[in-house]
Chain A
């Protein structure tokens, strides 16, 4: 079952960057890639549950601010230790200059 929720405006996120989005008791990270495409993952690193909001987006990678583990935010794949468990990703669509995520 889809549950599209408006998360932010496209302009809220700089190119090659990300922001935090909280929805009730859940927290997400929404990314804008160098190609101006939008992606969404869980907000907490799978290693020690540090929020990724203070991390660094490098091309298509998000680096955790605590231990420098990296994920590919397009697929959620864990790319560099100490992260070993993939991040959950969520479908994203852009409509009327706003970013919507399907949080199920």
Chain B
């Protein structure tokens, strides 16, 4: 502790000691891409989106049917594992994509998929839309970004808890109860606008009603099957999404207006990329959030010469991230500096020092 009893690390709450001014969005660095090419990359198409979402929902239905058919036998175990991944992990990444509204060309398809994926990942669709908006305005800006998954000093055990969605899932359930009761926390009030608050309350009530009906059905049938099929997979099945998403920003720089330094792009296999909706191209996603997930590999090709090298694989990224957050347990000021890895021909990262210790507004 320092002399004035202030912890030597940062206050990550949105109304606390470090909730100072945000970066103006125009301050964020972005790699120049010719306008004509950007227009091609930003273009939304229903066909690739329908193929991806069709395969996803088909897999959810097929593995769900397998769970029902094998229920009561040992074959149910692999069925449940597969169903859990397609329900819990795939829904989380699809929730995110539809939150940006970039997936489908036809707007109602995007809205429908967003509402479905929000329920499947137990996220309030309105609260999270605004939270995620703030995440993109103030990516990994302490005291401004509500979605910093590993505040320093990080708790590596959270990775383990979240293999069963225990930490984040419990938080979502708490949020659901509070929102259904029409209550918002101080932090939530900083980003959820008045006009969407009542919608957020009603969305939580609907989610809660569906979960309650599932629970009642399980009681009536005297079987866990309904819970294994609805609601449960968000907990036992989202481990793969948590594992992959933990690589997005953990261990990297905070308070820098350059996504090349605070986000990771990791080359992943096709299965992970399907589950994760190409969010392994995370620098690209943050730099140009208008580009739909199916065009992110092409965007990567356009900008990679201006970025630190992508991690060659998921394991390589974990080999860097895990030791970094372990060191941050002892030294919260430590981070992996990607600036020296920028190619010689790359544009320099903007210099910026954020004012410190600014009182809450």
Which A residues are within 8 Å of any B CB, using their own CB? 17, 48-51, 54-56, 58, 63, 65-68, 70, 80-82, 84
Contacts and interface: CB of A to CB of B under 8 A. Distances in A.
Nearest to B129: A81
Contacts of B129: 81-82
B69 interface: no
A70 B64 CA distance: 37
A64 to B, nearest CB: 8
B318 to A, nearest CB: 31
A51 B100 contact: no
Given A50-B25, A51-B26, A66 B44 contact: no
Interface string B68-106: 000000000000000000000000000000001110010
A35 B130 CA distance: 34
16 contacts: A17-B39, A48-B25, A50-B25, A51-B26, A56-B42, A56-B290, A63-B290, A65-B288, A66-B25, A67-B136, A67-B137, A68-B101, A68-B290, A80-B101, A81-B129, A82-B129
Contacts of A65: 288-290
Nearest to A61: B107
A82 B26 contact: no
B42 A81 contact: no
A54 B39 contact: no
Of A50, A58, A66, the most chain B CB neighbours within 10 A belong to A66
A68 B100 contact: yes
Contacts of B288: 65
B130 A82 contact: yes
B295 to A, nearest CB: 12
Contacts of A54: 35, 38
Contacts, number: 51
The bracket for how many chain B residues form the interface is 20 to 34
A66 B196 contact: no
A66 B289 contact: yes
Q: Which 5 pairs between the two chains have the least Cβ-Cβ distance?
A: A56-B42, A82-B133, A50-B25, A66-B25, A68-B101
Contacts of B196: 81
Contacts of A58: 44, 105
Contacts of B35: 54
Nearest to A67: B133
Given A68-B100, A68-B102, A82-B129, A48 B137 contact: yes
Nearest to B195: A84
A66 B101 contact: no
Nearest to A63: B290
Nearest to A53: B35
Given A48-B25, A51-B26, A56-B290, A66 B193 contact: no
A76 to B, nearest CB: 18
Interface in B30-82: 35, 38-39, 42-44
A51 B27 CA distance: 12
A54 B42 CA distance: 10
Interface string B263-297: 00000000000000000000000001110000000
B138 to A, nearest CB: 10
A82 B39 CA distance: 22
A84 B217 CA distance: 41
Nearest to A64: B290
